[in-house]
Structure 1
């Protein structure tokens, strides 16, 4: 998607960051991907032998360049999580591939970047309890599938009830939203549920999927949030993490507004508020 090129360009243009704030990911290894995904499924993707039915479910024609693209995204989120441990917060300009489950791809997602990164931190004992906050308008069904009943991971998805995927998985906490929800109702519900999560679960690392397809301008979202409401959403999540002294990795997730500037500006706002809250 063109937004993945425009976001860093806009950040540089506005002087929000400098060029040395960026890092370049590598192709992640199969053994790392298999920390969260079924090894046979990973192998079939890597050697391009995935069956036609699953390829249709993913929605993209399978190719080496597509698999490599997803491997770069995974490494970007893993590296960002390591930077977050060091600096408090870090981003993957892409990512948010939350529809990929343990042994399936779906919704243009082959591998699940935040799930793999969470499994990586847990495997290396860099975190003990991980919270995944998914505020994309679409349910993080793949993430829920991967971490079903995993005691070290709490999955939270607040999403459009009548939106894709139409068959939902069970997150640790799902908050389905009616079509047409506006800023006030959304933010009140988010605050209530964040307070609940931090009462019942004590994470030491947070992954945040910050899709901007909640905007009223989004062609697929069906919600009615303004750009300011989206910014206040990010502020609420990141303030909660900062107050609890938690490192945060952020992946961009979805955004399908008619005008690309609406998507890019909303994503850039996430960077701006993160830098303000975390003192950069």
Structure 2
């Protein structure tokens, strides 16, 4: 059974006019239920993350400042969010959603977090709508608690997974792969184990040809025991922050490639949501929903 992390905390409201589209966290589960892709049995509600796993990734001083609302104005601006206790609670539940989804993926082959993908969070700071890094926390959990020796991160958000790259720069057990817009945020890129920068307006064919060549090589060279997939849909041509040129069909084919690669190689995969900022909320929901539809089609 496909298990999906979701909590009402994921849809924590932000001040009106804020550009981060919180409504997708409410609308996506509704759409998936309405069309019959998922039922209530598919969803699980994460509790707040165990600090043990958060502290395995993040600086203790930063965590204390975050929990006690003592970030400086410049640190808050860097996150892109107006800081609040409710927002920190939301983030801690998202972290646990990815940890629990990783466990379910070990059991069922695949599982999803309908939030997460917070790949811009560093050990000692938040950036780009990310306060804590669920990808890194889930990977550490898999290695330290579940005894895995090799984790592959496939980050296909339009923005480089700079926080994740930094966190695993000296940890060879985790291989970080980021395929992202060359001229997009962050302007200063960290060094992933494999970075593929893409030109503005890269189209479906170019994108899929590159990804199709890389995935088999990664599976052979890395030989992962687990795959964490950051499935941001800000690669769409319609995305306000994206600058690439993919169609909805191209984005769906991207997801199919990654999920089929995991299934074919019998590698458990945990998918987390990532970004999506198209003008029409319908485009965001449709692109994200395709990931879940494919998971059901390919794995169950």
Supply the distance in 2 between the matched residues of 1:153 and 1:248 (Cα, whole angstroms).
14
TM-score, normalised to structure 2, is 0.91
User: 1:153 aligned to 2:167?
Assistant: no
**Does 2:235 correspond to 1:214?**
yes
Q: Deviations over 1:58-114 (max 9, x none)?
A: 122221111001001001111111110111100011111110011111011100111
Query: How do 1:261-276 residues align onto structure 2 when only pairs under 5 Å count?
Result: 261-276=282-297
Match of 1:34 in 2: 55
Query: Residues of 1 paired with 2:60 and 2:287: CA distance?
Result: 36
1:1-280 correspondence to structure 2 within 5 Å: 1-278=22-299, 280=300
SS in 2 for 1:91: strand
Task: Tell me, in whole angstroms, the C-alpha distance in 2 between the residues paired with 1:242 and 1:30.
Answer: 32
* Structure 2: distance between partners of 1:246 and 1:126: 15
**Residue deviations 1:144-172, cap 9 Å, x none?**
01111211100000000000011111000
SS of corresponding position for 1:190: helix
TM-score (norm 1): 0.97
- Alpha-carbon RMSD across the aligned residues, in angstroms, is 1.0
Alpha-carbon contact 1:30-1:42 (below 8 Å) kept: no
3-state SS in 2 of match to 1:175: strand
CA distance in 1, matches of 2:102, 2:122: 20
TM-superposed CA distance for 1:121, in Å, is 1.1
In structure 1, the residue corresponding to 2:107 is in which secondary structure?
Answer: helix
Q: Which runs of 5+ in 1 are unaligned?
A: none
Q: Secondary structure at the match of 1:186?
A: helix
Identify which range, 37-46 or 17-26, moves more after superposition.
Answer: 37-46
Q: Give yes or no for contact 1:256–1:263 (8 Å, CA) kept in 2.
A: yes
Distance (Å, rounded) in 2 between the aligned partners of 1:216 and 1:47 = 40
Which of 121-130 and 93-102 deviates more?
Answer: 121-130
